[in-house]
Copies of this chain bind each other. A is one copy, B any other.
Amino acid sequence: MEWKRINRKLERHPARAVIYSFALADIIGAILLWCPFSHVKTLSFIDALFTSTSAICVTGLTVVNTAQDFTHLGQFIILVLMQLGGLGVMTFSVFIALGFKDSLSFSSRLSLQESFLPHFTPEPRKLLFTIFAYTFISEALIALGLFLCFLGHGLGIKVSLAQAIFHAVSAFCNAGFSTFNDGMIDFQKSYAVLALIALAILLGNTGFPIVYELLSFFKEKRHKLSLHFKLTVYTHVALIIFGTVAFLWFDSAGAMAGLSWPLKVVTAVFHSVSARTAGFNSIDIAHFSEHSIYVFLILMVIGACPGSTGGGIKTTTFAVLSCTVWSRLRGFPQAVAFKRSIPVDQVGKAVTLVFIYLLAIMLFHFFLTFTEPNIPFYKSQHEFLGALFEVVSALGTVGLSTGVTSNLNLWGKICIILTMFVGRVGLLSLISFLSEVGHEPRPYRYPKERVMVG
With A330-B437, A437-B331 known to touch, is A446 a contact of B349 (CB < 8 Å)? no
| Cβ contact within 8 Å between B453 and A366 | no
Q: Which residues of B contact A341 (CB under 8 A)?
A: 445-449
Q: Point out the residues of chain B lying under 8 angstroms from A314, CB to CB.
A: 453-454
1/0 per residue A179-216: CB within 8 Å of B? 00000000000000000000000000000010000000
A379 proximal to B (CB < 8 A): yes
Asked if A124 is at the interface (CB within 8 A of a chain B CB), the reply is no
Q: Is A36 an interface residue (CB 8 A)?
A: no
Chain B residue numbers with a CB within 8 Å of A344 are 333-334, 344
Q: 6 closest Cβ contacts across the A-B interface?
A: A331-B437, A431-B454, A340-B449, A384-B385, A228-B451, A227-B449
Write the chain B residue with the least CB distance to A430.
B454
Residues of A366-419 whose CB lies within 8 A of B: 366, 369-370, 379-385
The contact sample of 30 A-B pairs, CB cut-off 8 A, is A97-B452, A114-B450, A115-B450, A227-B449, A227-B450, A228-B450, A290-B383, A290-B384, A306-B452, A306-B453, A314-B454, A317-B453, A320-B453, A324-B355, A328-B437, A331-B442, A334-B344, A339-B446, A341-B445, A342-B451, A343-B448, A343-B450, A347-B347, A381-B381, A381-B383, A382-B384, A384-B384, A427-B454, A431-B454, A434-B454
A359 to B, closest residue via Cβ: B325
Total A residues in contact with B, Cβ cutoff 8 Å: 86
Please, how many angstroms separate the alpha-carbon atoms of A348 and B348 in the complex? 10
Q: Are A329 and B437 in contact (CB under 8 A)?
A: yes
Given contact pairs A437-B329, A442-B332, A227 touches B451 in the complex (Cβ within 8 A): yes
Which chain B residue lies CB-closest to A350? Answer: B453
Instruction: Indicate whether A440 reaches chain B with its CB closer than 8 angstroms.
Output: yes
Interface string of A279-322 (1 = CB under 8 A from B): 00000000000110010001000000011000001101101111
Are B454's CB and A313's CB within 8 A?
Answer: yes
Residues of A within 8 A of B (CB): 93, 97, 113-116, 118, 209, 226-228, 231-232, 290-291, 294, 298, 306-307, 313-314, 316-317, 319-322, 324-325, 327-336, 339-353, 355-356, 362, 366, 369-370, 379-385, 427, 430-431, 433-434, 437-438, 440, 442, 445-454
In the complex, chain B residues whose CB is within 8 Å of the CB of A343: 448, 450
When distances are taken between beta carbons in the complex, the residues of chain B under 8 Å from A113 are: 450
Bound Cα distance A381, B314 (Å):
33
Tell me the bound Cα distance from A380 to B114 in angstroms: 49
The answer for the CA separation of A184 and B15 in the assembled complex, in Å, is: 53
Closest B residue by C-beta to A307: B452
Bound CA–CA A259/B440 (angstroms): 54
Other A-B contacts than A114-B450, A115-B450, A342-B450, 8 sampled, CB-CB below 8 A, are: A226-B451, A319-B451, A320-B451, A325-B352, A329-B434, A340-B448, A340-B449, A379-B381
Instruction: Report whether A291 and B328 are in contact in the complex, using a CB–CB cutoff of 8 Å.
Output: no
Closest chain B CB from A292 CB (angstroms): 11
List of B residues within 8 angstroms of A346 by Cβ: 450-451, 453
Q: Bound state CA distance, A340 and B352, in angstroms?
A: 19
B328→A449 contact, CB < 8 A = no
Which residues of B sit under 8 angstroms from A454, Cβ to Cβ? 93, 306, 313-314, 316-317, 349-350, 353, 427, 430-431, 434
Residues of B within 8 A of A298 (CB): 362
Q: What is the CA–CA distance of A143 and B327 in the complex, to the nearest angstrom?
A: 47
CB atoms of B381 and A449 under 8 A apart: no
Are B306 and A334 in touch, CB under 8 angstroms?
Answer: no
Residues of B within 8 A of A93 (CB): 454
Which residues in B have their C-beta under 8 angstroms from that of A448?
340-343
Q: How far is it, in angstroms, between the C-alpha of A394 and the C-alpha of B12 when the chains are bound?
A: 51
Q: Which residue of B lies closest to A112 (CB)?
A: B450
Interchain CB contact (< 8 A) of A348 among B290, B328, B450:
B328
